[in-house]
C-alpha cells in the first residue's frame, strides 16, 4: 500500500507539473542571426595574411602527388625483381592486395569500406636468394585512422600468428607504434630451401607502410630496421 501510494504521488505530481507547464505561454526562441561575426568582416591585407606552409612541411602536398615518388630508392647492390607480377608500373591493385589474405572477399570489402585510395609498391632482389617488397597503402583523408587501424591489425597478425606467435618485434625509431619483426623459424617449403622472413609495419598520416624481406638464410634485424627507418624518413 505504501509503495502504491508513493507511485501515485509521483504520477500525480508529474501530471500536475505538465499541466502547469501547459498553461504557461511558450518561451520565444533566440534569434538565429548573430549580431556580430566571430571572424573579421574583411580579408586581411596581403602583407598580414599568414604565409602557406612550404611543401617540405605540408604533408598533404607530398602525399597528394605521385605516391611512387615516396618509395625509397633501390639500395645499392639490389636490382628490380621483374618476376613480381603483382606490380604494374609501380602500382598494386586493391584486389591483388586482398588476394594475399585468407578471407579475400571480406578483406576486399574491408578495403573499400575503409576508403583505400591507391597502393604503390616496389620489388627488388639481391643475388639469387634475397627478395624485398614494399607497399605504401594510402587511404582517403576523410576516413579517420584507417591507415593506423590497418597497421594495428597487421602488427597483431605479425606478433600473434606468424613464426609460432609471441614475436612482439622491435620498435621502429620515430614511428610511434611501428614495429619490425624477424622470424628465426623458417617457413616449411617441401622440396625447396627454407624461407626466412622479416617484416616491418608502420603508418604515417593516411599511409600504411609494409616492408618484407625473404631469404633462404636467416635475416638480421639491422637489414629490416634500416629499410624501415629509411622509408619512414622518406615519408
What value does the CA radius of gyration of the chain take, rounded to a whole number of Å? 29
Surface-to-core class of residue 180, CB atoms within 10 Å of its CB (0-12 exposed, 13-18 middle, 19+ buried): buried
| Alpha helix (H) residue ranges in 104-220 | 104-114, 146-160
- Collapsed DSSP state (helix, strand, coil) of residue 194: coil
Contact 151, 196 (CB under 8 A): no
C-alpha cell at 69: 615518388
SS3 content of the chain, % helix, strand, coil (to 5): 35, 25, 45
What is the reported pLDDT for 15?
46
What is the reported pLDDT for 8?
46
Q: Which of these, 218, 227, 228, lies nearest to 197 by C-alpha position? A: 218
Report the alpha-carbon distance of residue 195 to residue 225 in Å, rounded. 19
Report the alpha-carbon distance of residue 55 to residue 231 in Å, rounded. 18
**Domains assigned to the chain:** 59-70+78-234 (3.40.1000)
What is the reported pLDDT for 230?
96
Contact 122, 71 (CB under 8 A): yes
Contact 186, 161 (CB under 8 A): no
Contact 97, 135 (CB under 8 A): yes
**In this structure, how many other beta carbons lie within 10 angstroms of the beta carbon of residue 149?**
16
What is the reported pLDDT for 96?
95
* Per-residue model confidence as pLDDT tens for the chain (235 residues): 555 444 445 444 444 454 555 566 777 776 666 556 566 667 777 777 677 766 566 555 556 778 999 999 999 999 999 999 999 999 999 999 999 988 899 999 999 999 999 999 999 999 989 999 999 999 997 666 899 999 999 998 888 766 556 788 899 999 889 999 998 877 666 777 888 999 999 999 999 999 999 999 999 999 999 999 999 999 9
Report the alpha-carbon distance of residue 195 to residue 178 in Å, rounded. 24
Q: Which residues pair with 132 in a beta bridge?
A: 124, 213
Q: Which of these, 202, 194, 187, 206, lies nearest to 232 by C-alpha position? A: 202
What is the reported pLDDT for 61?
58
What is the reported pLDDT for 2?
53
Report the alpha-carbon distance of residue 77 to residue 62 in Å, rounded. 28
What is the reported pLDDT for 45?
76
Amino acid at each position: 500500500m505504501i509503495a502504491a501510494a508513493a507511485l501515485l504521488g509521483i504520477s500525480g505530481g508529474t501530471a500536475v507539473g505538465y499541466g502547469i507547464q501547459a498553461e504557461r505561454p511558450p518561451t520565444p526562441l533566440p534569434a538565429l542571426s548573430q549580431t556580430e561575426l566571430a571572424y573579421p568582416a574583411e580579408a586581411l591585407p596581403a602583407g598580414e595574411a599568414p604565409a602557406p606552409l612550404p611543401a617540405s612541411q605540408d604533408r598533404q602536398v607530398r602525399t597528394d602527388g605521385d605516391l611512387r615518388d615516396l618509395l625509397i630508392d633501390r639500395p645499392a647492390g639490389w636490382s628490380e625483381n621483374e618476376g613480381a607480377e603483382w606490380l604494374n608500373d609501380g602500382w598494386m591493385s586493391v584486389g591483388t592486395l586482398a588476394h594475399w589474405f585468407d578471407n579475400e572477399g571480406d578483406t576486399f570489402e574491408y578495403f573499400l569500406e575503409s576508403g583505400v585510395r591507391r597502393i604503390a609498391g616496389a620489388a627488388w632482389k639481391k643475388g639469387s636468394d634475397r627478395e624485398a617488397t614494399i607497399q605504401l597503402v594510402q587511404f582517403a583523408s576523410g576516413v579517420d585512422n584507417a591507415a593506423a587501424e590497418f597497421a594495428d591489425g597487421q602488427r597483431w597478425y605479425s606478433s600473434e600468428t606468424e613464426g609460432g606467435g609471441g614475436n612482439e618485434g622491435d620498435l621502429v625509431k620515430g614511428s610511434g607504434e611501428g614495429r619490425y619483426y624477424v622470424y628465426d623459424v623458417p617457413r616449411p617449403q617441401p622440396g625447396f630451401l627454407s624461407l626466412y622472413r622479416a617484416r616491418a609495419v608502420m603508418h604515417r598520416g593516411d599511409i600504411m607502410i609494409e616492408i618484407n624481406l625473404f631469404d633462404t638464410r636467416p635475416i638480421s634485424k639491422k637489414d629490416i630496421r634500416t629499410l624501415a627507418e629509411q622509408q619512414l624518413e622518406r615519408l
